[in-house]
Amino acid sequence: MRVELTEMLWFEEHAVSFSELSDLTGLSPGILEELVGSGAIEPLDPASPEPRFGAAALEAARHAHRLHEDFELDTQALPLVLGLLERIEGLEQQLQALRARLPGRIR
Amino acid sequence: MKYKDYYAVLGLERGASDEAIKKAYRRLARKYHPDVSKEAGAEEKFKEVAEAYQTLKDPEKRAAYDQLGAHQPGQDFQPPPDWQEHWQSTGDESFSTEGLDLSELFERLRAGRGRGGAHGSMPGQDYEIAVPITIAQAYQGTELDLDLNMPEYDAQGQLRRVPHAFKARIPKGASDGQRLRVPGKGGKGFNGGRNGDLYLNISLRPHALYRASGHDLYLDLPLAPWEAVLGTSVEVPTPGGLVRLTVPRNTQAGRHLRLPRRGLPIPKGGQGDLYAVVLIVVPSVAGEQEAALYRQLGEISAFDPRAHFSEEGSYAS
């Protein structure tokens, strides 16, 4: 059976609500609330009464859910780990960008 | 059903204490967890470790597992006749262990006990797969055939691996590290539970000529010394076809010559740039006449490539 996929969403372009974010990631509303409160997961529009969450938040919330389930990390430790993971990802991107700029033969 | 030795996966003896099980899990999770490990095969290894821990950390499941007896890993076995009766409390006559994986058997136990069995709803599982594509595919967009084995609940609430064939359309402009979410195309939810999502993690395969950085591409442009000095015009390959590039006089090695909008397309519109990184290369063997010309050049040239060595402050003082 062939299934044609029609709806593909770029992470970057599709924002979700608080409850959708909780549903999508399996992260409980209570923990999500705390992570948003501590700034570990940021909405696109913090001032809005009904905030929307973008790609970075979805990725962070999925990480948070896995780390909570697999390591029993609490809401004290999660922001710390999420922050470090974000920094590592940023550094890896920088490293890749620098590698691309280097001539291939001397790498 | 193939036997898996959960104790061996965690590096433990059968009688290990709960504390030892937790410790072993923590040690291995730290090593192999996909969020923190870059080791090859870490994700697969972590799944094994997590599966073993899920069963052994729960006293009831551990007792059920222990009663299956010890077998060789990978050995075919069936649970003893009274095992099912004892551990399967939902009274579901249709339950059969045939074709089930060991982890699915224990998942089924959990579903039966904890989540109301056939009467409760269960969300489908999310599924995440790596999708390596070529630079040509990223440039033009592509359709990929994906064959997945997804865990799914069947009508009886049993978790089964179901083969799914997908045709996934990757829009043009996908770049390394980007993710696509395909809503509802993960595992099917059971009894009204929502379907899981399918996540596609895009990566670009290495290319013989181009290196990608976001939507920009970098290409090595080797020049002969005289081309770099005198300037020239060269044909440069780009994903969209050959482009003529003017190399100005006195082009230094390492310089980046920019070809605007010749990189990868950007999904929201526009296109990245292509940078030609200048390399000055010399022939590995110079003929007699060439060597004579270079000698002559050396004699008449006033160029000192190391002039800055003798500038003030260049010496260690």
pLDDT in tens, B222-281: 999 999 999 999 999 999 999 999 999 999 999 999 999 999 999 888 999 999 999 999
Chain B hits for A101, Cβ within 8 Å: 213, 218, 256, 275, 277
Q: What's the pTM value of the predicted model, to 2 decimals?
A: 0.75
Domain stop point among B206, B235, B256: B206
The stretch B213-220 carries a mean pLDDT of: 94
Whether residue B166 is contained in a domain is answered as: yes
* Mean confidence (pLDDT) of chain B: 84
Domain stop point among B97, B120, B143: B120
How close A45 gets to chain B, by Cα (Å)? 21
- DSSP code, position B271: B
Question: Which residues neighbour B152 within 8 Å (Cβ) at sequence distance 6 or greater?
Answer: B124, B125, B159, B160, B161, B162, B187, B188
Chain A hits for B166, Cβ within 8 Å: 2-3, 5
| Overall domain count for chain B | 3
Q: What is the pLDDT of residue A73?
A: 92
Whether residue B5 is contained in a domain is answered as: yes
The stretch B128-146 carries a mean pLDDT of: 90
> Closest-CA residue in chain A for B51?
A70
Cβ A11–B279 below 8 Å, yes or no? no
Domain stop point among B179, B206, B233: B206
How close A96 gets to chain B, by Cα (Å)? 7
Strand partners, B275: B218, B258
Out of 3.90.1170.50, 3.40.50.10190, 3.30.70.1400, 1.10.1660.10, the CATH code matching A11-106 is 1.10.1660.10
Lowest mean pLDDT among A33-37, B57-61, B62-66, B84-88: B84-88
Helix H or strand E encompassing B106: helix B102-114
CATH code, domain with B184: 2.60.260.20
Whether residue B7 is contained in a domain is answered as: yes
Backbone region of residue B261 per phi and psi (left: phi > 0; alpha: psi in -120 to 50; beta: other values): left
Cβ A55–B179 below 8 Å, yes or no? yes
Chain A hits for B26, Cβ within 8 Å: 71
Chains A & B: contacts with CB separation below 8 Å: 88
Q: What is the pLDDT of residue A5?
A: 55
ipTM of the modeled complex: 0.77
For an interface test with B, the pick among A5, A91, A105 (most B C-beta atoms closer than 10 Å) comes out as A5
Cβ B35–A96 below 8 Å, yes or no? no
Whether residue B310 is contained in a domain is answered as: no
